[in-house]
């Protein structure tokens, strides 16, 4: 596997790793302040224990402050571990991991971090603070021994004054829009969230959340963003490792391209991933609504279209298992008596199209129900499920995720979570999680703006696959031009790309069909070429030897100067953009420098780049 851009620096760092580890465990001055440094050019975490025994962490990069000293610690039923602490141990190590994923910004990853463990005590109580620093950020978590219950955290983020913020108000399903603030009002906000701090950006996120703990929200409180927990009491029996509190930092490209949230998550719990196959999904809900989900005839038409265009999946949404006599949803042991799902699965299989099915999570709230019902879906040949209306990050609901993911894997069912949390390294641990909603997406009929869309690549979609459901060309109220909407197939990343257009809307846009038939949903490499949160995005993603570029702007028409110097030699770039009569395609032969593309108000473009050779006129295959 080829190393990424920091490969040479990384090699040098690994060679001197033992020396660095020795220095970090040596005495420092002053005795109550310690640093954890990332590989060369990365951020520095500074841990401080004040005179009252209260710990804090600050983050800097290149000598510039990214995060002011921010409080640390937890309160348990046994002890207040936010103050009165003493340092009784400290050790350091390098953490180097190579792993692969089934979805995301790139399939093959190399993670290199410096880790320092600080052991604090207060009386008979212990608290380990584990801090990691990587070239693209800093993270920490707490570890507690034995049994007990967490009652709260002191954890907060003291973002420097004057920072620009891109925040979304907190709600259970993470479906509020991201808004740019110069002065953030007191409120509760969701993670992730992004700040512009001087020349750096700072993304606050979380990794490795599971049923051992509970979900967070950020409370704007004077000069900090304080972590508040979903549950007032979080019990644990055999020790506890909390989720990682993640601070991704660097220039905007570093933050956007970072996989630190995944890097911190536990490794895969699924040994055989050969059955996990990402791809495009033809989704009919926004096109035809519930009536289409209840019609075998109509779903066969969607299968026919998917087969013609070689899209691998069709998703049948809410309503397919409604009782035809009463109209009420009915998942019972008699479901096979009236559903046509097995017939549709066989129809799709004969045409090379897999079927996925929407389900209400509450119909799968026990292990016995999951064993019976997931087993039945597998018996029919369903390839994956969309589980909806989860709407909680309480510890009990997170335990449901853990148990459900095991049962799904046992039945070789991919999953798309809706009305859900957001990905926090979940795809690395459970690689059959292809995407999650947790976004103010295309289903919203109001308050959907291009400024929100231009914030998503740097916020919600930064942390993992996002089921925004683009391509609803038929919706008159959408804020995007046709070319901007088409570009979202590249700008937004999702292992299962649920595309929401009507068959009629696709057929009326042959250039959109041509592009969508080629664009993949998994990537070997991702680069941010140009961007500004809430203003515009130009994203490039590589699949094999071709690059796909998507661009969208918020606001006025402009000329986008697209850097193409990352393409070595001469390349053919096919650009699909808005024309006077609809989408048009133009071919450009480029060599280094930039490519100028005119875009209209709220517009954009989608492009494919391939190596040029004499006589080559198209990148299509």
What are the residue boundaries of the structural domains of the chain, listed by start?
A: 7-263, 279-509
**Does the pLDDT value for residue 276 go beyond 90?**
yes
Q: Which of 262, 288, 388, 482 is catalytic?
A: 388
Q: How many CB atoms lie within 10 A of CB 517?
A: 14
Higher per-residue confidence, 588 vs 4: 588
**Does the pLDDT value for residue 310 go beyond 70?**
yes
**Does the pLDDT value for residue 39 go beyond 90?**
no
Q: Sign of torsion, CA 350 351 353 357?
A: negative
Q: What is the pLDDT of residue 28?
A: 38
Question: In what order do the strands lie in the sheet containing 571-579?
Answer: 525-532, 536-543, 546-553, 604-611, 571-579, 582-590
Q: Sign of torsion, CA 344 346 348 353?
A: positive
Q: What is the pLDDT of residue 40?
A: 76
**Does the pLDDT value for residue 345 go beyond 70?**
yes
Judge whether 589 and 618 are in contact, CB under 8 Å: no
Whether the upstream peptide bond of residue 149 has omega within 30° of 0, thus cis, is no
Judge whether 488 and 471 are in contact, CB under 8 Å: yes
Q: How far apart are the C-alpha atoms of 62 and 82, rounded to whole Å?
A: 30
- φ, ψ at 490 (rounded to 5°): -110, -45
Judge whether 593 and 584 are in contact, CB under 8 Å: no
Q: Which of 175, 288, 437, 443 is catalytic?
A: 443
Average pLDDT, integer, range 249-272: 98
User: Model confidence over 195-251: pLDDT tens digits?
Assistant: 999 999 999 999 999 999 999 999 998 889 999 999 999 999 999 999 999 999 999
What are the residues whose beta carbons fall under 8 Å from the beta carbon of 548, sequence distance 6 or more?
A: 490, 518, 519, 520, 540, 541, 542, 606, 607, 608, 609
Q: How far apart are the C-alpha atoms of 250 and 462, rounded to whole Å?
A: 14
Q: How far apart are the C-alpha atoms of 17 and 193, rounded to whole Å?
A: 32
Task: Tell me the percentage of the chain whose pLDDT exceeds 70.
Answer: 92
Average pLDDT, integer, range 4-10: 46
Whether residue 443 lies in the annotated active site? yes
Residue 616: band (very low, low, confident or very high) from pLDDT cuts 50, 70, 90: very high
What are the residues whose beta carbons fall under 8 Å from the beta carbon of 174, sequence distance 6 or more?
A: 168, 190, 420, 421, 422, 437, 438, 439, 460
Whether residue 363 lies in the annotated active site? no
Residue 471: band (very low, low, confident or very high) from pLDDT cuts 50, 70, 90: very high
Average pLDDT, integer, range 415-440: 98
Q: Which has the minimum average pLDDT: 333-337, 464-468, 512-516, 574-578?
A: 333-337
3-state DSSP assignment of residue 308: helix
Residue 406: band (very low, low, confident or very high) from pLDDT cuts 50, 70, 90: very high
> What is the overall mean pLDDT for the chain?
93
The domains spanning 7-263 and 279-509 adopt the same CATH topology: no
**Does the pLDDT value for residue 4 go beyond 60?**
no
- For 137-292, strand residue ranges (E) read 137-144, 148-153, 156-157, 164-167, 179-181, 188-189, 193-197, 200-207, 216-221, 224-229, 234-236, 240-241, 244-250, 279-283
Residue 327: band (very low, low, confident or very high) from pLDDT cuts 50, 70, 90: low
Q: What is the pLDDT of residue 1?
A: 41
**Does the pLDDT value for residue 325 go beyond 80?**
no
Q: What is the pLDDT of residue 15?
A: 36
Q: What is the pLDDT of residue 329?
A: 61
Judge whether 311 and 282 are in contact, CB under 8 Å: yes
Question: What is 33-85 written as a DSSP string?
Answer: EEEEE-STTS-EEEEEE-TTS-EEEEEEETTEEEEEEEE--EEESS-EETSS-
Q: How far apart are the C-alpha atoms of 581 and 559, rounded to whole Å?
A: 20
User: Model confidence over 96-141: pLDDT tens digits?
Assistant: 999 999 999 999 999 999 999 999 999 999 999 999 999 999 999 9
CATH code that applies to domain 7-263: 2.70.98.10
Token pair belonging to 31:
């005795």
Average pLDDT, integer, range 295-310: 97
Q: How far apart are the C-alpha atoms of 121 and 71, rounded to whole Å?
A: 17
**Does the pLDDT value for residue 602 go beyond 50?**
yes
Q: How far apart are the C-alpha atoms of 409 and 567, rounded to whole Å?
A: 39
Residue 25: band (very low, low, confident or very high) from pLDDT cuts 50, 70, 90: very low
Question: In what order do the strands lie in the sheet containing 74-76?
Answer: 80-81, 74-76, 148-153, 234-236
Q: Can you name the residues that pair with 583 across neighbouring β-strands?
A: 578
Q: How many CB atoms lie within 10 A of CB 535?
A: 15
How remote is the C-alpha of 95 from its chain's centroid?
A: 23
Q: Where are the alpha helices (DSSP H) in 355-423?
A: 367-380, 395-410
Q: What is the pLDDT of residue 332?
A: 54
User: Model confidence over 493-533: pLDDT tens digits?
Assistant: 999 999 999 999 999 999 999 999 999 999 999 999 999 99
pTM for this entry? 0.94
Among the four given CATH numbers 3.20.10.10, 3.40.50.300, 3.20.20.70, 3.20.20.370, the one describing domain 279-509: 3.20.20.70
């Amino acid at each position: 596997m080829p190393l990424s851009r920091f490969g040479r620096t990384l090699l040098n760092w690994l060679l001197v790793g033992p020396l660095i580890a020795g220095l970090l465990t040596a005495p420092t001055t002053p005795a109550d302040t310690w640093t954890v440094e990332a590989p060369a050019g990365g951020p520095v975490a500074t841990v401080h224990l004040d005179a009252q025994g209260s710990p804090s962490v600050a983050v800097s990069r290149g000598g510039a402050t990214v995060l002011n000293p921010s409080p640390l610690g937890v309160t348990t039923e046994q002890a207040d571990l936010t103050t009165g602490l003493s340092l009784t141990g400290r050790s350091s190590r390098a953490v180097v991991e190579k792993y692969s994923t089934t979805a995301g910004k790139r399939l093959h990853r190399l993670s290199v971090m410096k880790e320092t463990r600080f052991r604090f005590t207060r009386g008979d109580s212990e608290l380990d603070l584990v801090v990691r620093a990587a070239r693209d950020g800093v993270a920490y978590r707490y570890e507690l021994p034995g049994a007990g219950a967490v009652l709260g955290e002191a954890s907060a983020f003291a973002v420097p004054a004057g920072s620009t913020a891109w925040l979304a108000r907190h709600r259970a399903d993470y479906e509020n829009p991201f808004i740019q603030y110069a002065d953030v009002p007191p409120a509760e906000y969701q993670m992730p969230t992004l700040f512009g701090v001087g020349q750096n950006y700072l993304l606050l996120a979380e990794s490795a959340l599971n049923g051992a703990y509970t979900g967070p929200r950020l409370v704007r409180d004077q000069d900090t963003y304080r972590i508040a927990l979903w549950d007032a009491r979080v019990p644990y029996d055999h020790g506890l490792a909390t989720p990682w509190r993640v601070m991704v930092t660097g220039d905007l490209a570093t933050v956007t391209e970072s996989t630190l949230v995944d890097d911190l998550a536990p490794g895969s719990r699924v040994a055989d991933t050969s059955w996990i196959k990402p791809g495009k999904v033809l989704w009919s809900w926004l096109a035809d609504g519930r009536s289409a989900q209840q019609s075998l005839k109509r779903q066969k038409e969607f299968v026919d279209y998917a087969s013609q265009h070689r899209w691998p999946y069709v998703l049948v949404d809410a309503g397919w298992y409604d009782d035809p006599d009463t109209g009420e949803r009915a998942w019972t042991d008699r479901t096979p008596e009236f559903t046509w799902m097995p017939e549709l699965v066989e129809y799709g299989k004969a045409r090379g199209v897999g079927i996925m099915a929407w389900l209400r999570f509450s119909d799968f709230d026990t292990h016995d129900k999951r064993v019976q019902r997931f087993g039945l879906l597998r018996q029919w040949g369903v390839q994956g499920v969309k589980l909806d209306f989860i709407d909680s990050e309480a510890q009990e609901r997170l335990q449901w995720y853990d148990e459900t993911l095991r049962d799904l894997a046992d039945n070789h069912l991919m999953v798309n979570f809706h009305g859900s949390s957001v990905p926090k390294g979940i795809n690395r641990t459970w690689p059959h999680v292809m995407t999650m909603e947790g976004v103010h997406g295309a289903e919203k009929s109001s308050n959907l703006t291009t400024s929100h869309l231009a914030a998503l690549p740097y916020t919600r979609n930064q942390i993992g696959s996002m089921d925004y459901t683009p391509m609803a060309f038929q919706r008159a109220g959408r804020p995007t031009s046709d070319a901007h909407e088409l570009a979202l197939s590249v700008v937004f990343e999702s292992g299962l790309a649920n595309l929401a257009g009507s068959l009629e809307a696709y057929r009326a846009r042959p250039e959109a069909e041509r592009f969508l038939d080629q664009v993949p949903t998994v990537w070997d490499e991702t680069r941010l070429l140009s961007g500004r949160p809430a203003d515009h995005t130009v994203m490039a993603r590589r699949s094999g030897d071709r690059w796909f570029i998507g661009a969208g702007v918020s606001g006025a028409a402009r000329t986008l100067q697209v850097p193409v110097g990352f393409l070595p030699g001469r390349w053919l770039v096919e650009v699909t953009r808005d024309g006077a009569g609809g989408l048009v395609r133009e071919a450009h032969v480029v060599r280094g420098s930039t490519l100028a593309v005119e875009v209209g108000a709220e517009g954009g473009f989608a492009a494919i780049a391939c190596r040029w050779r004499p006589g080559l006129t198209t990148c299509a295959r």
